[in-house]
Amino acid sequence: MQILVLGSAAGGGFPQWNCNGPNSRRAREGDPKAQPRTQSSIAVTADGRHWALFNASPDLRQQFSANPQMHPREGLRDTPVSCVVLTNADVDHVAGLLTMRESQPYAIWASKRVHDVLAANSIFNVLNPEFVERRELPLGKPQPLQGPGGTPIGLTVEAFPVPGKVALWLEKLDAGPGFGTQEGDTIGVKVEQPHSGARFFYIPGCAELDQPLAKRLKGAALVLFDGTLYEDDEMIAAGLGSKTGKRMGHMSMAGRKGTIAAFAELGVGRRVFIHINNTNPVLIEGSPERRSVEAHGWEVAYDGMTLEL
């Protein structure tokens, strides 16, 4: 099984188009220690031909162009992408579906909640149902992924709810502490290749490593996990935002309740941070924060990164 990181940044990418903070400025000026990144998405294949896309980034066209594995192969219209799996309805995870609107057969797998959100937004009607099949991804039950017409692609996905938050554009500010959040708004996935037994977890958004999630991840060979912020108040301290990571539905890397501490006793073989915000100092190679996460056994995802299982 091969995993290709198409995009490793959080919403807005790195550098963010309107951000003049120190990280984004360094990236924009071409500092080799501040490598640009597109918005979060990965692609997975069991056979090198049929790929499952996990989240459809607004940068999808750029990501497909940058990675030959995603190029058309046969005929005048073609794609190696058999299906798209959505982990939530955040703009940085669903806007790329609008790029995939040109009468190309594929399947979209998502929780019922996310499918309902897409169905309620008329702009997604450009995805012609004669070509794009919408399939519900059940929670807690392994599901063999299929492409258009039920074509198997050799991968099984088990979706599970994780602590999170409704997408920003769906927040109901008068709905109490949960902002209208419902089950299925944020999921993680276990991706497995049944033929080889290889498996990994992909969780690009997570507000808390609660006991059920910790139990699920214990002893995993590979986890790609939410790396949005290094410190919870990072955006506020930088003068680039008014929200904490917790308010946005994301754990932070550092601190007593941070991701690094929470994973310390789980025995996960390979740990990779993904979905990294433009304010996060780990984006700068050689920074004290980057050295710290690496010293704790974590890797920082980058666009084009390939992982094999």
Q: pLDDT per residue over 116-166, tens digit each?
A: 999 999 999 999 999 999 999 999 999 999 999 899 999 999 999 997 654
List the single range of 167-176, 218-227, 255-264, 296-305 with lowest mean pLDDT: 167-176
Model confidence at 306: pLDDT above 60: yes
pLDDT confidence band for 232 (50 / 70 / 90): confident
For residue 167, what pLDDT is reported?
52
State yes or no: cis peptide before 163, omega within 30 of 0: no
Residue 183's pLDDT is what?
Answer: 60
Residue 305 structure tokens: 């990164």
Confidence of residue 227 (pLDDT cuts 50, 70, 90): very high
pLDDT digit string (tens) for 53-91? 999 999 999 999 999 999 999 999 999 999 999 999 989
pLDDT recorded at residue 184: 60
Contact 92, 120 (CB under 8 A): no
pLDDT at 188 over 80: yes
Please determine, for residue 217, whether its predicted confidence score (pLDDT) is greater than 50.
Answer: yes
Strands 306-308, 198-203: pairing kind? unpaired
Q: How many CA atoms lie within 13 A of 206 on its CB side?
A: 28
State the pLDDT confidence band at 176, using cuts at 50, 70 and 90.
Answer: very low
Going by CATH, does the domain composed of 2-304 fall within 3.60.15.10?
yes
Residue-averaged pLDDT of the chain = 91
Q: How far apart are CA 256 and CA 282, in angstroms?
A: 18
pTM of this structure: 0.92
